[in-house]
Amino acid sequence: MRALYPDLTPEDLQPPKHTGLGRVIERLRLGRGIKIQGVDGLMVRYAQCCQPVPGDAVVGYVTQGRGISIHRGDCPNLLTISSEAERRVEIDWQESKGETFVVRLAVHGEDRRSLYADICEAISGSDTTIRSVELSTRDGAVLGAVLVEVENQSNLNKVIRAIRKVKGVTEVARHDAGP
């Protein structure tokens, strides 16, 4: 590069930093943190139906043209593909530092003043990024979902415990998209 462009500064010669989308593409391309039956570097994608995170028991499913799809072991979609056992593969999922996963949490509760703010404050207090909040009140009951960005299962459990401690919240659980 220096021979072609002698005026470039040292910063210009550094490889570009990945954007959020770039990190996702790199993770899909390299399968970072995942070994499939002893082989790494394969194209993988994390199933949106069950939103697996490191620490979950997972199963790989060989898709047609999209690499290997990683599902939680209790994913309802695995029941529909259970007849194709030859397409299932063992996964050794190692946690990669700095890698995050988006998980949808279903939240139910009894409405009160500032409940929404208290839920968001509890999540933020657990050092977790909120991606979106979709809560609504009907007949005194609060129903909805919160999308959070977590690093692993223990981080996710910490967020769930923090939300459960909020006065008025009656139930918090992972929300699966279903089949």
Q: Is residue 89 within a helix (H) or strand (E), and if so which, with residue range?
A: strand 88-89
Query: Residue type for 101, please?
Result: F
**105 CB contacts (<8 Å, ≥6 apart)?**
145, 146, 147, 148, 159, 160, 163, 172, 173, 174, 175
Range(s) for CATH 3.30.70.260 in the chain?
101-174
**What is the dihedral sign for C-alpha 142, 173, 128, 18?**
negative
Structure tokens at 57: 């028991």
Q: Is residue 68 within a helix (H) or strand (E), and if so which, with residue range?
A: strand 68-72
* pLDDT, greater one: 48 or 28: 48
- Residue 92: pLDDT band by 50, 70, 90 thresholds? confident
Query: Span 13-40, mean pLDDT?
Result: 54
Contact status, residue 102 vs residue 77, Cβ threshold 8 Å: no
Q: What is the pLDDT of residues 64-81, one digit of tens each?
A: 877 888 888 888 887 776
**Residue 34: closest CA among 124, 95, 80, 122:** 95
pLDDT of residue 109: 96
Q: What is the pLDDT of residues 105-120, one digit of tens each?
A: 999 999 999 999 999 9
Angle between helices 115-125 and 153-164 (to 10 degrees): 150
pLDDT of residue 37: 52
Task: Please count the helices (runs of H) and the strands (runs of E) in the chain.
Answer: 5, 10
**103 CB contacts (<8 Å, ≥6 apart)?**
51, 53, 147, 148, 149, 150, 156, 174
CATH numeric code, 101-174: 3.30.70.260
